Amino acid sequence: MAKLYFYYASMNAGKSTNLLQADFNYRERGMRTVLLTAAIDDRFAAGTITSRIGLAADAITFERDTDLVAIVTREGEAPPACVLVDEAQFLTATQVDQLALLADVHGIPVLAYGLRTDFLGALFEGSARLLAIADSLIEIKSVCWCGRKATMNLRVDAAGHAVAAGAQTEIGGNDLYIALCRRHFSEALCAA
């Protein structure tokens, strides 16, 4: 039976690298995959999953109203061996349910990679639904500057000071976000 997996972590933990390695493993064995990524994430190139260590692959972008089942089960195409989703936090709850349908009804394993929480420690819609219904939850570890496990994503301004208000989604990398342990995240937000 196919499963829905949620690989989650803070920023800079290697989620995209992990996804691209899984994709490579399938393709190396002659299996077709479908790669999906959020259209809103345009840090590198639209329609591309890119890791900080330089790996990249083309992907199909999704918006909030994209029907993922329709994309993956296109008429006339054999079903893929696996669906891999980057930036899964940007999925809607309905889209996460569509991923579950791909696993449960169509027998296609789905590996979703994303952040668990935003810069204030609140769950993203897609992450919340994945945490609720995924068959398997896998945490990818990252490290805070103090050496403890980083679980939080602190948004910072141009001067490196914590940002304690704003829109949930602001696309950025190391210029806008720092992965921290809960203790240092809380201290930074309290000081903001």
Digit-coded pLDDT (tens) for 53-108: 888 888 999 999 999 999 999 877 889 999 999 999 999 999 999 999 999 999 99
Neighbours of 3 (CB within 10 A): 14
Indicate which residue of 28, 87, 125, 170 is catalytic: 87
Q: Is residue 154 part of a domain?
A: no
Residue list, annotated binding site: 9-16, 86-89, 144, 146, 177, 181, 184
Neighbouring-strand partners of residue 38? 62
Domain count, the chain: 1
pTM value? 0.91
| Domain coverage including residue 86 | 4-140
Q: Is residue 156 part of a domain?
A: no
Q: Is residue 94 part of a domain?
A: yes
Question: Under a CB-based contact definition with an 8 Å cutoff, are residues 128 and 137 in contact?
Answer: no
Provide the phi-psi class of 89: left if phi over 0, else alpha when psi is between -120 and 50, else beta.
Answer: alpha
Q: Is residue 81 part of a domain?
A: yes
Q: Is residue 146 part of a domain?
A: no
Q: Is residue 149 part of a domain?
A: no
* 163 to 32, 125, 158, 159, 174: CA distances (angstroms): 42, 21, 10, 11, 14
Query: 3-state DSSP call for residue 38?
Result: strand
Q: Is residue 83 part of a domain?
A: yes
Q: Is residue 105 part of a domain?
A: yes
Residue list, annotated binding site for ATP: 9-16, 86-89
Is 125 a known active-site residue? no
Give per-residue pLDDT as tens, 141-176: 999 999 999 999 998 888 888 888 877 776 666 678
